[in-house]
Amino acid sequence: MFDISLPQDKKPLGGTFDVVIVGAGPAGLTAAIYCARARLSTVVLERNTAGGQMALTERIENYPGFPEAISGFDLTEKMKRQAGQFGADLREITTVAAMEPAGEGLWRVVTDEEELTAKAVILAPGVEARKLNIPGEAEFLGRGVSYCATCDGALYRGKQVAVIGGGDSAVEEGLFLTKFADAVYVIHRRDQLRANKVAQERAFANPKMHFIWDSQPRLILGEQKVEGVEYQNVKTHAIATLPVDGVFFYVGQVPNTDFLVNVVELDEWGYIKTDALLRTNQPGVFACGDARTTPIKQIAWAVGEGALAGIQVEKYIDMLEQPAAARAAQAEQEAAAAQAAAAAASSDGGAASTGASPAAASSTSSTERKLPE
């Protein structure tokens, strides 16, 4: 049985850690596995529950090692358990409000409950659903408007729902909704889907899936709850109404980086900018996952970035500790030299008692050794 507990000299004390990881999606959890396994005291802060967008995905088919597919919830639980067994401290429902230098190379991370300090920070805050901000969208949130089919799909058993969007999330979550709803209407502003080909084939083959092309929603209708959606054709400008009991939005994502404005460099859309080794423009601060400027948003990609971030943090902390180790070695050398000098002085004391100076005694001894026998 392997001992996977943190050594005593790495136990967090007074809210100070080797590394604070912001976000517990696939990137953050992977970084936690690598950091904790390297025996760095590691805390992971997640504003919701762990898993991020991954946990909201009903079926994951393209993550290596699961030929029969796996649910996002199950994959999240496996990653959580793996990070925890190496000693990572996961704190869910904890919102990071601010982050700032704390002096002496440390960073201060302020949450809604406490302040933590760390030698390094890994930013993996993830993304959230983009909102269209059309009339009725905010008003009916939780009363027919949703951004998570996995969370709310079972509420629409035997009903009709609309899905806004045409990418992977829209189509895959629409397919999930067909397990409950009698009809799923996909409203897309283009004349073809952007989802992967496998998802498209399944959607077109599913008799419960219906498609409204070249259209976008104008407003959500209803009194106490959602009763329909008004949409407009972008080519003919014709306006129509679709009676539905729920509307699910999948029109893109925005990064959860508001707390990082003026802290690290962001691009024009709010994504974190890094170099190839995932270093931000601030020393000791790294970033990975969907909130970073990446060409694709996939679990496998996020896991790879989490691994790289964890490895880079380990190297960074080792570098920080090298000067201290060098100073300690120098102090030991100086102490040994002082002891040697004291011992030499004690030996020279015998010469002094005879009235001869140490130099003279040394000279005599040397002369005597040179005399022939």
d(CA 216, CA 170): 14
Asked about 288 being catalytic, the answer comes back as no
Catalytic residue selected from 151, 182, 191, 258 = 151
DSSP 188-233: -SSSS--S-HHHHHHHHH-TTEEEE-SEEEEEEEESSSEEEEEEEE
Answer for the pair 257, 267: CB distance below 8 angstroms, yes or no: no
d(CA 67, CA 318): 39
d(CA 43, CA 348): 58
Q: Which of 302, 253, 314 is nearest to 37 (CA)?
A: 314
Structure tokens at 12: 């967090």
Which residue among 74, 148, 214, 348 is the active-site one? 148
Strand boundaries in 124-208, DSSP class E: 127-129, 145-146, 160-164, 183-187
Report whether 300 contacts 60 (CB < 8 A). no
Q: Which of 18, 35, 89, 152 is catalytic?
A: 152
Active-site amino acid positions: 148, 151-152
